Homo-oligomer: A and B are copies of this chain.
Amino acid sequence: MNLVLITESEAVEGFAADDPRAQHLRETVGVRLGSTFHVGIDNQRRGLATLASLEPTLRFTVQWEAVPQTRLPLTVIVGLPRPQTAKKLLHDLASLGVDRIVFFEAEKSDPSYAQSSLWRDDEWREPLRKGAEQACSAHVPSVRHQPELVSALRDIDRQGWNVSLDPYVASGPLGAAAKNFSGGCLALGPERGWSDAERQALADAGFTAYHLGDRILRVETAAVAGASLMLAGLGVWQEHRPLGG
C-alpha cells in the first residue's frame, strides 16, 4: 500500500486505532510519531501525512499536493467474467488509473457470475481500493453494471477513440494503431468471447476491433495490455510524475 485512502472527515479527525488501515500502518509499515505516509481523499487530493498520535485514534497532519492528479479519461467495458478474474481486473485497472469500468452480462457470460458474493456483498470495493492505494493514487474508478452490451454502450461517452479487442475480426494490431487521443473506451468480451450480435453492436457504436498479436491472453492480461497501449497515447499519461518525484 503506497497511499492510504481516507475520507474528508478522517483527514481532520483521524481514524480508530483498530481500523485495518491503522493496523497496517503500525504493523506492516511500522510508523511512529512523526513518521510520514501518503494519504488521499477518495477521488480528490493526495498529501503527505505526518503521524501525530497513535491512540486512541490515529491522527495526522497533512501537507496537501498543490494540484490534484489528473484523471485518465479511459473507460473499460468488459463482459462479466468469473469472480476471481473480476477481482484481478478491478485491482489492475484501478492501478493503471482508468476512470470507469462497466461490466455487462455478455451473451457468453455465465449468468451465475452476477450472483457472486463479490457483487452481492460489496466485496468488489476492496480490490478496487487496493489497486488505487498500490498506485499511490486517490482516483478510484467508478464501477457500473449493465444487463447487456447494448445498454453498456448507451452508458458511456462514445465521442472518443473506441476500441474493441477481438482477434477474429481485428482490423489490425492495437499496438500499431495507438495514437494520441484525449479520451476513449476499451471493450473486452468475457472469457468465451463476443457473440456475432455483440460484434455488430460494437461496429454500430463506432468501435474498431484490434488484436494483441496471435497469443490468446486471459481477460485480465488482455485488459492490462490493451489499456496500457491506449493510455500511452494520452498526453496526461505521458506528462505525469510520481507524487513527490
Contacts and interface: CB of A to CB of B under 8 A. Distances in A.
Interface residues of A, number: 42
Interface in A226-245: 228-229, 231-233, 237-238, 240-243, 245
Nearest to A97: B215
Given A213-B240, A231-B175, A167 B225 contact: no
Contact of A218 (B72, B134, B231, B237): B134
A178 B215 contact: no
A93 to B, nearest CB: 10
Interface in A53-96: 69, 72, 92, 95-96
A217 interface: yes
A205 to B, nearest CB: 24
A214 interface: yes
Contact of A217 (B95, B229, B237): B95
B225 A96 contact: yes
Interface string A178-215: 10000000000000000000000000000000011111
Contacts of A232: 173-176, 178, 229
A221 interface: yes
13 contacts: A96-B221, A134-B216, A135-B216, A135-B217, A136-B216, A167-B241, A167-B242, A174-B232, A175-B238, A213-B237, A213-B240, A214-B242, A225-B228
